[in-house]
Each structure stands twice: as C-alpha cells, then as structure tokens.
Structure 1
C-alpha cells in the first residue's frame, strides 16, 4: 500500500510562495483554460490575435507575454479560411505559430499527439483547441464524468510541460445571472479548468462585447472589448476590487476616505459623530451602523479596522488604521 505524503501547516507556511507561471502576465497562466462564447461571436479572431502576440513576443492588449511557439488546432476551419483571417491581422510571416486542422480525439490519442509536438518543439508555450466538441470523448452514461476526464487529461499535459492550453467552447443559449453557468456542458468542464473566459455581447451584429475572466490564479475581471477591423481591442477593464466597491454604500466609502485623509491612527466616537465627521449625512444612525458592520471586511481590506462597544454614554465606534492593505480577514495586520 502506498502511504500518504502529508505536510504540516507550519511547513507549508514557511515555504516561499510559488508564483504562477504566466504565458500572458496576470491573464493566462500555465494550465488548461476555457474560452466560451456564442457561435460566430469572434472567438477565432481572439485566438489568432493571442497566438500571434505570444509567438512574436508582442503584448496582447497591454498584457506582457512570455514569447514561445504556439500550436493552433483549428479543427472547424480549412487552411484557406485561416489564411484569409491571418492576412487581415498581420503582414508578417511567423515560423513559431503552427496550425493544424485535424487531430485525434482525446480518447483516440490527442494527448500523445501533443506530447510528441512538445518534444519536437521544446519552446512551445501555448496550445489552442478549437473546438472542444471536435476532440471530446463520447459521453456514455455520465456527461459529468466524461467532461471531467477529458478536461483533466488536457490539464495534465499542460501542467506536465508548462503550457497554457486554451480550449474554445460554446455557451448555452439560455441566459443566467452567473455568466460562468452559461458555459455549455456539465460542471465537469468548468470544475476542472484553471480559468474560464466567457465572451458575450448583448446582440449579434454589435461589435462591442464583454470578456469575463475568472480562475484559480487569475483575479476576477471584466474586460470591455470592441471588434474593429477583425481585431478585438481592449476598451476598459474592471477588477475584482472595483466590483467589490460597487456594492459598498456611499456612506461607507466616505468613512474610508475620511480615515485615509486623517493624520491620526484612530478615531473614536458615536455613530452620529462619525456621520458628521465623514460627511455622510442623509443616512439614519441605525442604517449607518448596520452598513458599517456589513462592510467591515471591505474596510479592513482598505486598512481600517472597525469595532464597537456599548458604554454608559451609548454605543461607541472605534476605527483604527492598519499597517497593511488588501489583507482581507487577516488578523495579523499591525495597528498604526
């Protein structure tokens, strides 16, 4: 019997943090990823532009890339069609960007084909599979099991050889409040992917779209894009911090601003006193107190520790600045 290999929490904490290996800095790390979108939305244009950027060592949008060879399995296209697209994107020949319009399925040897390509092209950094439907195995009795097994097989190759593998897939027609639930197939796909990219727009024929990205090593973000002259252009990005801030009431943001501008390391007083000090008039003391408690984690992430206690004079609030920022829930922040 093979014994379990276990480590103590102390050993883990003492080890240096292993940073993600990025193929596209802060956007696409090593691993297996999904790019999902409706048919004909423009996923192939994005894949071609990304492949050209990595193979030529040029920024993708304004993200730095790690230059290397790229393999694009364009399994739904002819070479003639891909050639016409390339002409619209670049005039430069590139001998580090490889294309193939046929490949085995995962069940019938795709892993071995990619493994052999890695051996003969050791500088390979990025692999596109367009589309997942062309290589997936028959589902049988369990769609989840088949999806999970297929995607895990692709992830194993990516992890073993230090590659980013982007698998192009479709979204469902039915809308969902959680954009990640629109990815076609079972949760076996999304559950095994290292990151999920979902490209969507309000209506066909409109060039503007939103790319939502989330993953294990990738910070959640939304990128506003515009398709111009067959190329996706980055218009605006929204980070996880900005999403958090959208849900925070204005009166709490005023407290954060008040403390940031204050030269003192702490503040103490009643709820009413804080409303006046922070310029947060227009909210009742009961509502303001509730908001402070609800968003105490947000305030801590901005370097402010909130606490309250009942005294003979009434409820007293204490705000203390900490010596660290963005340390959500971290009790180790030193008070100033």
Structure 2
C-alpha cells in the first residue's frame, strides 16, 4: 500500500483550463528595444573584439535615458545595472566619453566585480527595481561560468542559463542581457555559433548574433526569439556607436537584403537587384525599364540573370520580387515619415502603364 500524505499539495494545483486562458486579458510583452530585445533572458553572441561591449553599453545608456537604441529606435526609460566584468572604471569612463556621454545618466549603474556572486547580485537589483522594469547586462558569461568536467555538458549549460532566466521570470517586464562569445568557424545555422552546448541557446528567450568583417564597419545582426520573429538587420559601428543601416528596422532589413544580394556583382546587376528589393509587391520588366531608363532587352537579361543566381524571386510570369518579402518583426516598422505611400511613385507608374 502506498502512503499518501494528506497535507501534501495536490500535484495538479497549478493546472488551468484553456477556456479560462482564452478569456484572460494578459499584459503585452515588454521590450527593451522594440522588435529586437523583449523582456526575459537575451543571449548576445559575437566573436571576441567585434564590438559586443560597445553595443551593450550603448543599449544601457539608451535604456537609462529613454533615448534611441541603434540610433533610431525609441526605447522606454528604465534602471540599468551593467556588470562589466572584463573592464575597469577607467575604461568604462573612456568608452562613455567616446560615445558622447560626459554626464550621468542617473539611472545607469556599473559593477566591475560581483563579490556576492552573479545570482544574488542580479536578483537584488531586479527585486529593488521591479516596479520600473529593470535591465541587467552581464558582460561576459565566461567570467562567471567556471569550468565543468562532468559528462552532461548540455545539462550543465542549460541549468546555468535557467538559473539566470529564473531571476527575470520572477519579475515580469524585467530583462537580462548576457554577453557571450561564438564558436570558431563558419556555421550554417547561426544558433550553432554560440560557444558551448545548445543548452545555452535553448534556455534563452532571445538570441542576438553579430557578424562583422573586421576590415569594415558594416555588420549583420541576426535575431531569433520566442517573442520577436527572426530577422536580419544591417548595422554600422562607428566610433563605438552601433546604428541601424537606415532610419528603421524595415530599412535595415532591406539594406541587409541588398547587401547579400549584390555582394560581388557589377554595378548594373547591383542596381537592378537593389531596385527590385524596394518593392515587396513585385515589379514588371517595363516598370524597371522606366525607373532605370534602360532598354527592354537589357532589363530582361539582367532580371533573368538575377533570378537564376537566386538574387531575386520570380513567383509568376512577368513579375519579380525580393527573395524574402515578409517583414521579420512583430511591431510597426515605419521610420519617421515612412509609410506605404513612400512608394507612391512606383504605384503611379504601374497604374499609368
């Protein structure tokens, strides 16, 4: 006979019905950076010395002041704790001055060591600022992970990240950005670039990956998240400041498509691919000829070559579109003064033809 403790809680005490759930009015997801970094645990990964610390410093300043992230995305003001475990006060001061910060911000706090340990430190800051939807930045994960010699590396990685995730889950609206390094070598799936086992990526709510050629300012920001759809955005790093390549996420995504589609091609091919990428609804050859002032034969030749090389799509006869036409985030993407009417010139050409 099995003994049942009458005082023990019912194992199903936490169950709730779908009928109840569908009737609830739940709070919307909080964003540190709308469309890019939602609340919860975010893992930011990139190769060493690529600009990760500059990025999170800029994000911390933007969040503490309620300014713009990446140069053009307005963000809400919130208290920020930056655990800069690879830096000292002098370097942090120098970096702030480099990005133009000489006073404050009052809501931004730094620690270069965590004598009490990362978990108690992060937990205390989140608890004391819970009503203000705080942000904590841990730079880097490697400074607090330690080494592991057991047989379950995946389980160890997942447990470590889950412990960090539990901290922000206790305070809805709060966020934790963890900076980490990538593995060496090219990966077909950017999630495989995260150094360590897939347990690290599996426990995170969102993952951001920065890819940049060290000889250029242009970079790609890959975003995948449980709350923000996957996307790829073109960014530039200049004098320690990360900015979108454009005035909105829409423009940065378009710039990313253009860069990928026109890499290593001549001026004429780059021009026609860039033009087609501006119009998700598609273009006809005669419209391309009108806008580029090209002869019909040249237009059709380059459209065919661009399609055959995978730089544009040809969903139906006589219509050419960008390879990817869906937006990659869940928020409005229009920048200042940007709307569908911005493409009115092309619409007018199609209607007149």
TM range (shorter): 0.5 to 0.7
Q: Distance in 2 between matches of 1:95 and 1:137?
A: 33
Instruction: Report the Cα offset of residue 121 of structure 1.
Output: 4.3
Q: Distance in 2 between matches of 1:17 and 1:10?
A: 14
2:244 corresponding residue in structure 1: 234
1:25 corresponding residue in structure 2: 34
Q: Distance in 2 between matches of 1:52 and 1:68?
A: 10
Say which of 42, 51, 55 aligns to 1:46.
55
Retained in 2: the 8 A contact 1:222–1:238?
Answer: yes
Q: Distance in 2 between matches of 1:64 and 1:93?
A: 19
1:153 maps to 2:168: no
CA 1:38–1:257: 2 relative to 1, 3 Å: closer
Q: How many residues align?
A: 252
Retained in 1: the 8 A contact 2:133–2:175?
Answer: no
Say which of 93, 101, 112 aligns to 1:101.
112
Corresponding residue SS for 2:16: coil
Say which of 92, 96, 117 aligns to 1:86.
96
1:208 maps to 2:218: yes
Instruction: Report the Cα offset of residue 103 of structure 1.
Output: 1.4
1:111 maps to 2:119: yes
The 5 Å alignment of 1:1-336 reads: 2-4=10-12, 5-16=14-25, 18-61=27-70, 62-89=72-99, 90-104=101-115, 109-122=117-130, 123=132, 125-141=134-150, 142-161=152-171, 162-201=173-212, 203-235=213-245, 236-238=251-253
Q: Distance in 1 between matches of 2:42 and 2:98?
A: 26
CA 1:118–1:13: 2 relative to 1, 3 Å: closer
Root-mean-square deviation (CA, aligned residues, Å) is 3.2
Q: Distance in 1 between matches of 2:41 and 2:85?
A: 18
CA 1:207–1:6: 2 relative to 1, 3 Å: same
Please say which of residues 224-233 and 5-14 is displaced more in the overlay: 5-14
Q: Distance in 2 between matches of 1:70 and 1:121?
A: 9
Structure with greater proportional strand content: 1
Q: Distance in 2 between matches of 1:19 and 1:67?
A: 17
2:305 corresponding residue in structure 1: none
Q: Distance in 1 between matches of 2:50 and 2:176?
A: 21
CA 1:179–1:119: 2 relative to 1, 3 Å: closer
Corresponding residue SS for 1:237: helix
Corresponding residue SS for 1:135: helix
Q: Distance in 2 between matches of 1:88 and 1:204?
A: 19
Q: Distance in 1 between matches of 2:202 and 2:144?
A: 18
Map Cα deviations across residues 15-55 of structure 1 (whole Å, 9 max, x no partner). Answer: 33542122222222210111100000001110111000000
Corresponding residue SS for 2:156: helix
Q: Distance in 1 between matches of 2:32 and 2:214?
A: 31
Instruction: Report the Cα offset of residue 228 of structure 1.
Output: 1.2
Retained in 1: the 8 A contact 2:86–2:140?
Answer: yes
Q: Distance in 2 between matches of 1:177 and 1:212?
A: 13
Greater RCO (CA < 8 Å, at least 6 residues apart): 2
2:308 corresponding residue in structure 1: none
Runs of at least 5 residues in structure 2 that lack an aligned partner in the other structure: 1-8, 246-250, 262-278, 284-314, 317-325, 328-353
Q: Distance in 1 between matches of 2:44 and 2:282?
A: 39
